């Protein structure tokens, strides 16, 4: 049994992670300021042995009484809709929040786990993207607040590893989806499913030929835990190597939900990556990990959850 601090634990990925850690017998201290997270995501965990929730902004000083074995830093708004809405908070949680949680891990002698992102690759000029690729990022564009915050967080994490000898893990996450996503979070999967269930047009940006790789949350969490328990210190891609165009994704959502919605096209956002697909050779070799839930099945499960959440009519 380990005592694990999960920042952003009331968010989409964080809440699934808290649940998975408890299921394997770990104790969890969940920290979240609820800027994008929700207590509804973790309400089933209150009262469970080993679970503690603390409302806190990790961009300010972080301290947790008692022993801590793992610090898993998942706090950060991660949706395109947030980049313009709360850009300063995103930069602060990636920089100050990472510094503060690294400090907690150092003080406690705990292993530190950073939730980074495929966004560190920017609009990649190498395809698919291996961990050795340094990326192609516009630091002053509207996406830069998230991209550069995560790139800084990786640099800070490795600095603590090299200078302080801190035991660290870094995961680069590729377009995760599943239950407990925010209906209005601006990501393609949630946008499309909600619109399809409501019979509204699905908005595809550009001509829809840009590609992404979508990983169902259950596979993603399994990859996180495998990396957490491994000896790999350098960044690792955890994502689905199956690549879809955004138009293909929209068509799949309409088909799976049985919706009568149409596809409409809108201008392409600034710096929107043309393609994104992980090279998961490292994860396969070091963790024996690869996704097992295909996108169609994941979409069906996610749509069912959204259907249960949306107000009838």
Q: For 250-293, how does the pLDDT look when each residue is reduced to its tens digit (9 = 90+)?
A: 999 999 999 999 999 999 888 889 999 999 999 999 999 999 99
Confidence class for position 185, pLDDT limits 50, 70, 90: confident
pTM recorded for the entire structure: 0.96
Question: Could you state, in order of their start, the residue ranges of all structural domains in the chain?
Answer: 3-176+215-238, 181-212+242-277+293-309
Q: What is the mean pLDDT of the chain?
A: 96
189-209 mean pLDDT: 96
Residue 313 pLDDT > 70:
no
Return the structure tokens found at 97: 């929040």
Query: What pLDDT is recorded for position 312?
Result: 62
Confidence class for position 19, pLDDT limits 50, 70, 90: very high
Contact 5, 68 (CB under 8 A): yes
H or E stretch at 97: helix 87-108
Q: For 54-91, how does the pLDDT look when each residue is reduced to its tens digit (9 = 90+)?
A: 999 999 999 999 999 999 999 999 988 899 999 999 99
What are residue 265's DSSP bridge partners?
A: 204
Q: Give the three-class secondary structure for 77.
A: coil
Q: For 36-51, how does the pLDDT look when each residue is reduced to its tens digit (9 = 90+)?
A: 999 999 999 999 999 9
138-152 mean pLDDT: 96
Q: What is the CATH class of 181-212+242-277+293-309?
A: alpha beta
**Distance from C-alpha of 264 to C-alpha of 199, rounded to nearest angstrom:** 13
**Distance from C-alpha of 164 to C-alpha of 76, rounded to nearest angstrom:** 25
157-179 mean pLDDT: 97
Query: What pLDDT is recorded for position 41?
Result: 97
Q: What is the CATH class of 3-176+215-238?
A: alpha beta
Query: What pLDDT is recorded for position 80?
Result: 87
Residue 190 pLDDT > 90:
yes
Contact 173, 279 (CB under 8 A): no
CA end-to-end distance (rounded Å), the chain: 46
- Give the active site residues: 146
């Amino acid at each position: 049994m380990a005592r694990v601090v999960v920042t952003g634990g009331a968010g989409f990925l964080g809440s699934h992670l808290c649940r998975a850690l408890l299921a394997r017998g770990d104790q969890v201290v969940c920290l979240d300021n609820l800027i994008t997270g929700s207590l509804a995501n973790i309400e089933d965990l209150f009262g469970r042995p080993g679970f503690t929730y603390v409302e806190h902004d990790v961009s300010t000083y972080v301290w947790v009484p008692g022993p801590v074995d793992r610090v898993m830093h998942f706090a950060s708004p991660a949706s395109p809709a947030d980049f313009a809405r709360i850009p300063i908070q995103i930069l602060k949680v990636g920089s100050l929040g990472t510094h503060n949680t690294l400090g907690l891990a150092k003080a406690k002698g705990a292993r530190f786990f950073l939730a980074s992102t495929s966004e560190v690759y920017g609009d990649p000029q190498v395809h698919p993207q291996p961990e050795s690729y340094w990326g192609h990022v516009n630091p002053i564009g509207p996406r830069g607040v998230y991209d550069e915050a995560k790139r800084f967080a990786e640099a800070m994490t490795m600095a603590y590893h090299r200078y302080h000898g801190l035991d660290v893990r870094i995961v680069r996450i590729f377009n995760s989806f599943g239950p407990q996503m925010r209906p209005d979070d601006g990501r393609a999967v949630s946008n499309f499913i909600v619109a399809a269930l409501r019979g509204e047009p699905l908005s595809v940006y550009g001509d829809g030929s840009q590609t992404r790789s979508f990983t169902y949350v259950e596979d993603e969490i399994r990859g996180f835990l495998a990396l957490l328990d491994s000896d790999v210190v350098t960044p690792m891609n955890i994502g689905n190597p199956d690549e879809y165009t955004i138009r293909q994704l929209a068509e799949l959502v309409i088909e799976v939900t049985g919706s009568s919605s149409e596809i409409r096209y809108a201008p392409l956002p600034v710096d929107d990556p043309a393609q994104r697909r992980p090279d998961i050779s490292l994860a396969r070799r070091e963790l024996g990990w690869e996704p097992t839930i295909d996108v169609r099945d994941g979409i069906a499960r996610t749509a069912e959850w959204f259907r249960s959440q949306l107000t009838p009519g």
